[in-house]
Each structure stands twice: as C-alpha cells, then as structure tokens.
Amino acid sequence: MSDSQSNPRHVRELEDHLGVLDTLSGTALGVLSAASGIYTYLGVRSLLDSDGALSVFAALAYSIAVSVGIFVFWTYLMRLLPAMRTARARLGLMGAMALGSVAIIAMSSWLNAAALAGSAAVEQHLARTVQDYQTSLERSHTIAVASLGLERDVSRVRQSFQDLSEQEATGNLSGIAGRGAVFRVLRQKAEELQGLENQIGTVTPAVEQAFAEGNAILSRMRALTVEPGPVEARSVEFSEEAVRLAGLITQLRQLSVAPLVTRAAQDLSASVVLPTLSDEADTAAGQQATITSVLEVLGQRAETLAVAARAVEGMTPPPEVSYTPISAADAVIRYGRNFVPSWAGAIAIDLLPAVLVFILMVTQGAVRAGRERTPIEDSMTLAELRAAVSAIRRVEDDMPPEPKLSAPTPLREPAE
C-alpha cells in the first residue's frame, strides 16, 4: 500500500468524493434506464403488427418493466458488490452481474439496436435482395442467349443438307440427276431444320424484351431501397416488384430453346420417312447406297446438335431467389456485422453502470485499505475528537468521587 493511500487525508478525500457521487449515481442510473426504456419501446413497436391502443399499451408496459429492472439490478450491485470483503462473495456477485447483463442484452439491447438501426437494416435487406435478383436475372439471360446461339448450329446443319440436295438434283451425289428419293430425304431434313431455326428466331425478341423489362424492375427496386419515407411502405411496393421480377426470371428460364434442340436432334435421325425407290434395280441400288450414306450423315449432324444443346443445358442454373419481408429487429440481427456501432451503443447504454460498479469497488477498497493501515488516533477528525473528549468527560462526571483518606494521628511520646 502506498503512502498516499494510507494517508488519512487521502482516505477522507475519497470518502467525501463518494458522498458527493452517491447523490448523482441514482439520477444517472435513472436517466440511463429511462433512455433504454424509450428505445426498447420503439423496438417493440416495430415488432408488433397492430397499431391499436392495446399494442401501444403492451409496448409501453414492456419498456417500463425493462427500465425498472435495469434500475433495480444496477442499484443492487452498486450498493452490495463494493461492500463485499471476501473474494468468494465478490465472485458470486460478479457471476450474478454477468448473468443479469446477458438477460439485459436479451430483453433490451437487441430491441435498442432495432430502434437505432432498424430502418437501415431493412434497407440493407432490400439491397441484398436486389443483388440476388440481379444475379438470377443475368444468369437466366445468359443461359437463354446461349441457347439462342444454337440457331447458328442448326443453320449450319440445315445448310449442309440443302447443299447436298442441290448436289443430288444435279446428279453429283448419287450419280442420278433429278429430284428422286435421295433428294426428297435431304429436303425433308432441311425443311425440319428450317422450321426449328424459324422457331428459335421467334424466341429472340421475347428474350430481349423480358431481359429489358427485368432490368427496368431492378432499377425501380433499387430506387425503393434509398427513397425517403417509412421503410414499411417501401417494403410493400418492393414485394410487388419482386413478384413481377420472379415471374420474368421464370419466363426467361422457359425461353431456353436448348431442350427443343435436343429433342430435334434426337428426331433428326430417328424419324426419317424413306421414299419409294426406283423400279430399276441398278438405280434403286444406287439410291439405297446414297440414302444409307445420308442417314449416317444425319446421325453425325444430330449428335453434333445434341452435344451443343446438352452443353447449354448443363450450364449452372440461376439461383432460386424469393423476397421475404423482414422486421427491423430481425434485420438488425441478420445483418449485425454491418451495424456494429449501433449494436455497441445499444449494449453500452444498458451495461455502462457496470463500469460505475467497478469504480466504486476500487474506490471503496482503497478506503478500507487506508483505514486498516492508519492508527485510530491519526484517522480521527476534529469532530470525532471533540465527541471523544465529551464522552470521556461524561464518563468522568458519572463516576462517584473517590473517598478522601484522613491524615494519621501523630503518636504522642510518653511523658517522663
């Protein structure tokens, strides 16, 4: 123990400070409890769906209970914990303080954080949802555009069959000029592919229109996340736009022509209507050989289309996105990392009295240590000294007087 802490004047100075601060502690604790109750009320009101008088009364009752509980809890600790002299007693009350602090955070601090940053947290939720929808829309559009790219593959296959049919018409393929059986087979497949190509072409404007409309909805949703005004009203409109956008994303996924091309590739070689061959044996043999070669080519071209279509179908699908409305309190918990200052303020307003408790513990410990190391005569004040002197005088006055002893009679000498 240092000399300053064992100095009687230092001890008396600390006691004077504690006396002054004791009058302020109750007021400060009451103000902190009331402030916490106000923010708790706002947090509870954000959780209640109804706006009636009963909801207001329920939120008010809860906030008052929280304020009273915080005030009583910290008042007990400020009085009792600094007065504990044994380590076991102090550890017991510190455990009670830790348990009570957890209870206060559970019943008040998270609601305070909801009141402080609830609107911003809901806006964060809206912004995150917009990002998810944008990712899903762009992915759906990418897959749809990739499927539209199959039109070039179909066009190449269709052009190859048209070229073969022209060669057959001039006799450069089977050696028999004219529009016979081989020509009709080639024309049949070219026309099938032409129909598929036309069908893909009609899908292209629908894909671009859906993507443009989806971007327009995304722009409106982004605007709703930052517009002024109550976030609850904006959330309702945001939800309506989200439903529309989800429908457009589903439409884009359905506009993919990759499954259609896959089925067409399967039918390309499987569904061949073989025409009647020539009556002449030599001509029929030549036609049959050419048709066999044509069927082999059909199988190869069909496999090429199927591979391209399966590559598109194997692309990673867009993530499933759905907007779920969320309350301010839930949003603050879900996005708590983005609102650390708000959480710190909400918890600090409830747990700040713990610092006052530790201050009182240290100060009163120093006072007790100083008194134990100071002799009683050095620690007495002038008033205490006067009271001690008065007590001594009263004791002396109350004591009976001591009896006076008579002087001994001198002995006389005997006469001679």
H helix intervals, 81-176: 87-104, 110-148, 150-169
Q: Per residue in 45-78, pLDDT tens?
A: 877 766 777 888 888 899 999 999 999 999 998 8
332 Cβ neighbours under 8 A, 6+ residues apart? 110, 113, 114, 117, 118, 121, 339, 342, 343
Domain ranges of the chain: 3-118+337-389, 130-327
* 273 confidence band (pLDDT: 50, 70, 90): very low
- Say what angle helices 8-47 and 353-372 make with each other, to 10 degrees: 160
- Which of 119, 138, 112 lies closest to 32 in space, CA to CA? 112
In 3-state terms the chain splits into helix, strand, coil percentages (rounded to 5) of: 80, 0, 20
DSSP state of 52: S
C-alpha separations of 242 from 5, 132, 234 in Å: 69, 11, 12
Alpha carbon of residue 141 to chain centroid: 29
CA distance 121 to 131: 15
- Which of 261, 248, 184, 251 lies closest to 218 in space, CA to CA? 248
Structure tokens at 404: 């006076």
Q: Is the pLDDT of residue 416 over 50?
A: no
Give pLDDT, residue 271: 52
Give pLDDT, residue 102: 92
Angle at 255 between CA 262 and CA 305, to 5 degrees: 20
CB 312 within 8 A of CB 146: yes
* 7 confidence band (pLDDT: 50, 70, 90): low
Give pLDDT, residue 252: 87
Angle at 210 between CA 208 and CA 212, to 5 degrees: 65
Give pLDDT, residue 342: 83
Q: Which of 11-15, 50-54, 289-293 has the lowest mean pLDDT?
A: 289-293
Mean pLDDT computed over 290-301: 69
CA distance 389 to 405: 30
Q: Is the pLDDT of residue 85 over 50?
A: yes
H helix intervals, 271-280: none
Q: Is the pLDDT of residue 1 over 50?
A: no
Structure tokens at 274: 């073989």
When comparing pLDDT for 36 and 401, which is higher? 36
Q: Is the pLDDT of residue 98 over 90?
A: yes
The three-class DSSP label of residue 374 is coil
CB 248 within 8 A of CB 136: no
Angle at 205 between CA 201 and CA 209, to 5 degrees: 160
Q: Per residue in 301-354, pLDDT tens?
A: 777 778 888 888 888 888 888 888 888 878 888 887 888 888 888 888 888 899
Phi, psi for 310 (deg, rounded to 5): -65, -30
Structure tokens at 132: 């998810």
CA distance 124 to 242: 16
Percent of the chain residues topping a pLDDT of 90: 10
When comparing pLDDT for 255 and 270, which is higher? 255
Q: Per residue in 364-408, pLDDT tens?
A: 877 776 666 555 555 556 666 677 777 777 776 666 666 655 555
When comparing pLDDT for 108 and 161, which is higher? 108
Q: pTM above the 0.75 mark?
A: no
Q: Is the pLDDT of residue 21 over 60?
A: yes
279 C-beta neighbours (distance < 10 Å), count: 7
Structure tokens at 345: 């303020």
Residue type at position 263: R
